[in-house]
Chains A and B, each alone.
Chain A
């Protein structure tokens, strides 16, 4: 468990954007792992199994009380295409957070991710951290491919200023 607990917690925390929920999810993941201990004990894919279970449990956790509103939410998402989230309308820098250590970058990124709404953070994390394709994310989240692309594009546009501001503030503090 010690070998994987950071990975499991980290995956759940970045997806859920909430440490308390992530700890609950991580607990459930390891209880399931314990129930499959005989299979996982000698498996070389135990890490992959844990990551998949963590991702699926987190998505289930987040969607448990929201499925009933999916119809209207999709309707809202298509209607509000011009008012929901930022669009990229400024110059993109060549690098970002490049001068910071991995730990500093991690802290800034996690704080910024928590500020994104679920429907932007989830696909963004699945794309950039879990290396899933747009199509795989659309299937996993059960939403259209077009919406996934739009949400990820807007998530990036919303994340950029958050990272720049946080990075600038960190530089100022360090300097």
Chain B
């Protein structure tokens, strides 16, 4: 064991001796009255202004049910308004017709990427990836430097928790 780690162990021991067994600090005399006042204030609040966990069970269940019903009604209402009096088959066709252009775009984009990968020399691709990585690291470094320069003050050097 080197001298430095011996010193650190010794420091830990003497600090443990100095810090252990210290009496607790005395709480301010106002603490008890503050708690009582806050409890009284909260007791006067109507139940619906308390946190959701403190609501009566019936109110919580009713709230969840109402939310679920409203959500489903909104979705069904939107679909119904859109479809009007069309039959189910027509409705399905309409929905699929929405998906068709999207699938076409995805398929075309995939074909384009495959074509580019075949046409562009691999060296170029590596270069593009390298430039992208360089820009990412540069921006990250600039962000870190800006944070250290603009945000961190010497007096708050330890405020990192």
- Residues of A whose CB lies within 8 Å of any CB of B are 1-2, 5-11, 13-14, 19, 23, 26-27, 30-31, 34-35, 59, 62-63, 66, 69-70, 72-77, 84-85, 88, 91-98, 102-103, 105-106, 109-110, 116-122, 128-129, 141, 143, 153, 156-157, 159-160, 163
Q: Determine whether the beta carbon of A72 is less than 8 Å from that of B148.
A: yes
The majority secondary structure among interface residues of chain A is helix
- Can you name 14 A-B residue pairings with CB atoms under 8 Å? A5-B32, A23-B34, A31-B42, A66-B159, A69-B151, A70-B160, A85-B158, A94-B14, A106-B23, A106-B25, A110-B25, A116-B158, A119-B159, A120-B158
Distance in angstroms from B83 CB to nearest chain A CB is 45
B144 at the interface (CB under 8 A from A): yes
Residue from A31, A88, A92, A119 within 8 A of B160 (CB atoms): A119
Q: Which 8 A-B pairs have the closest CB atoms?
A: A117-B158, A73-B160, A10-B24, A9-B27, A10-B25, A5-B27, A6-B24, A119-B158
The majority secondary structure among interface residues of chain B is helix
Q: What B residues does A160 contact at CB under 8 A?
A: 11, 15
Q: Determine whether the beta carbon of A109 is less than 8 Å from that of B39.
A: no
Distance in angstroms from A136 CB to nearest chain B CB is 16
Q: What A residues does B156 contact at CB under 8 A?
A: 117
A85 to B154, CA, bound (A): 12
- Residues of B whose CB lies within 8 Å of any CB of A are 4, 7-8, 10-12, 14-28, 30-32, 34-35, 38-39, 42, 54, 143-144, 147-148, 151-152, 156-161
Q: Determine whether the beta carbon of A106 is less than 8 Å from that of B22.
A: yes
Q: What B residues does A98 contact at CB under 8 A?
A: 17-18
Q: Which of B8, B24, B161 has the most CB of A within 10 A?
A: B161
Q: A6-B27, A72-B147, A156-B12 are in contact. List 15 more A-B contacts (CB 8 A).
A: A5-B32, A6-B25, A9-B31, A13-B25, A23-B27, A23-B30, A84-B158, A98-B17, A105-B18, A110-B25, A117-B157, A128-B16, A141-B161, A157-B11, A163-B18
Q: Determine whether the beta carbon of B20 is less than 8 Å from that of A128.
A: yes
Distance in angstroms from A133 CB to nearest chain B CB is 13
Q: Determine whether the beta carbon of B7 is less than 8 Å from that of A77.
A: no
A23 to B39, CA, bound (A): 15
Q: What B residues does A92 contact at CB under 8 A?
A: 7, 10-11, 14
Q: Determine whether the beta carbon of A102 is less than 8 Å from that of B27.
A: no
Residue from A9, A94, A128 within 8 A of B15 (CB atoms): A128
Q: What B residues does A59 contact at CB under 8 A?
A: 161
A116 to B144, CA, bound (A): 24
Q: Determine whether the beta carbon of B11 is less than 8 Å from that of A30.
A: no
Distance in angstroms from A48 CB to nearest chain B CB is 15
Q: Determine whether the beta carbon of B24 is less than 8 Å from that of A7.
A: yes
A128 to B17, CA, bound (A): 9
